[in-house]
Amino acid sequence: MSHSKLAGYDFYRSLNSPRYCMAPMVEQSELAFRLLCKNYNTQLTYTPMIFSHTFLEDKEHRVRHWQTTSDDYPLLVQFCGNDPLTLLEAGKLCLQMPNAQHSVVGMDLNLGCPQKFAQQHRFGAFLMEEQRLVREIVSILHRELPVPVTCKIRIFKDIQQTISYAEMIRDAGCQMLAVHGRTREQRGSIQGLADWDAIKLVRERIKDIPVLANGNIRTLEDAERCIDYTKCDGVLSACGLLESPAMFSGSDGQESKVILAKEYLKLCAEHPPPEYSFMTGHVFKMLKALLSDHEDLKMRLGTAKTREVMFDVVLELERRVENKM
Ligand SMILES: Cc1cc2nc3c(=O)[nH]c(=O)nc-3n(C[C@H](O)[C@H](O)[C@H](O)COP(=O)(O)O)c2cc1C
């Protein structure tokens, strides 16, 4: 799929105006899971965050983690880092990776990671104090990359700061902005609720490029409520999709979870995730509620060493659920 470099809403419309999107997730938004969700009305996905420096320097890591197919369209490749030229080179290189031309529609810059290592290595949400640098990164990517650059940010406590940050990023050349309505401090056990009011106010000021809202989207109804309230073009969901990969098709009943877990494991046979642990993580999250009544199966899943054994455990769970055991 060749994409001339489109801007803002022309870019968005060229992707069929996605409303329901999967947020980037380290170790969890890998190809097999993206394809699963895309089978159930997820209309745009992101790769997990990729360290731009590692991507450039470590060929083995790059090859191992790079996964995409034409069914994976449309895909945003998310990078993190703080060096404009390293990010640019990483962005250019990813476009030459296998199948990139069939699926990759743009490069996303991670400006939201709140973790300690992001602080140590000065990237993600720790660039919120280095706005001159952020401007430089976004401008270079906008100017030099053959695909549009998009950004994912967190909010400041102060709404005016959030708005001027978003405007600066837009002015530097960002073509689509995802706003996670939590501050950098809202993470881990003190995550709390996302602030849709802040997202709404950013949207009111940023009208000329698409804005996606992120935070607290657990069901299709949440997605619709959020779009209705914030007037954003679409939403990103992370935790909601991990538990209910079919959530954007309106189906999040427990019965369908076993079917989804089986479908996911079949996709993994075709596209093995870079690490085995990604698979375990997904199956546990999808089947969380059902497994709570079957401690023995939980144990067997936790100790399963192959995809086939995991599949057998899921089949056994299916049998028990059908027989209401
Ligand atoms: C397992 C996991 C991994 C994540 N990895 C990333 C990442 O690589 N890049 C990023 O920008 N955000 C990452 N996030 C944050 C999500 O993209 C999203 O902003 C956040 O979870 C809020 O959305 P939610 O309320 O729907 O979960 C991650 C979140 C989770 C749960």
Q: What's the pLDDT tens digit per position in 171-180?
A: 999 999 999 9
How far apart are the two ends of the chain, measured CA to CA in Å? 49
For position 116, what pLDDT does the model report? 94
* Residue 92 annotated as lining a ligand binding site: no
Cβ contacts of residue 56 below 8 Å, gap of 6+? 62, 86, 89, 90, 93
Alpha helices (H) in the chain, listed in sequence order: 8-14, 31-38, 52-57, 59-65, 84-94, 100-103, 116-120, 131-144, 159-172, 196-205, 220-230, 239-243, 255-270, 276-291, 295-303, 307-322
Pocket lined around ligand 1, Cβ cut-off 6 Å? 23-26, 28, 48-49, 78, 110, 112-113, 152, 180, 214-217, 237-240
* Residue 26 annotated as lining a ligand binding site: yes
**Are residues 211 and 234 in contact, defined by beta-carbon separation less than 8 angstroms?**
no
* Residue 63 annotated as lining a ligand binding site: no
- Span from the CA of 31 to the centroid of ligand 1 (angstroms): 16
Mean pLDDT value across residues 94-117 = 97
- Span from the CA of 237 to the centroid of ligand 1 (angstroms): 8
For position 309, what pLDDT does the model report? 96
Give the percent of the chain with pLDDT over 90.
Answer: 93
Q: Is 174 a catalytic residue?
A: no
pLDDT at 1 over 80: no
**Are residues 29 and 56 in contact, defined by beta-carbon separation less than 8 angstroms?**
no
Mean pLDDT value across residues 202-218 = 97
Write the residue with the smallest CA distance to atom 25 of ligand 1: 215
Query: How much is the mean pLDDT over the chain?
Result: 95
- How far, in whole angstroms, is CA 300 from its chain's centroid? 29
Mean pLDDT value across residues 239-262 = 91
For residue 106, what pLDDT band results from cuts at 50, 70 and 90? very high
CA torsion angle 236 240 244 249 (round to 10): -40
Provide φ and ψ at 105, rounded to 5°. Answer: -110, -10
For residue 254, what pLDDT band results from cuts at 50, 70 and 90? confident
For residue 2, what pLDDT band results from cuts at 50, 70 and 90? very low
The CATH T-level fold of domain 8-247 is TIM Barrel (3.20.20)
For position 253, what pLDDT does the model report? 75
From CA 152, how far away is CA 129, in angstroms rounded? Answer: 16
Mean pLDDT value across residues 282-303 = 95
For ligand 1, mutation pick of 183, 212, 239, 275 (most atoms within 8 Å of CB)? 239
pLDDT at 252 over 80: no
Mean pLDDT value across residues 239-255 = 89
Mean pLDDT value across residues 141-145 = 98
For residue 4, what pLDDT band results from cuts at 50, 70 and 90? low
Atom of ligand 1 nearest to the CA of 242: 31
Give the percent of the chain with pLDDT over 70.
Answer: 99
- Domain definitions of the chain by residue range: 8-247, 255-322
For position 32, what pLDDT does the model report? 98
Question: In the 8-state DSSP scheme, what is residue 257?
Answer: H
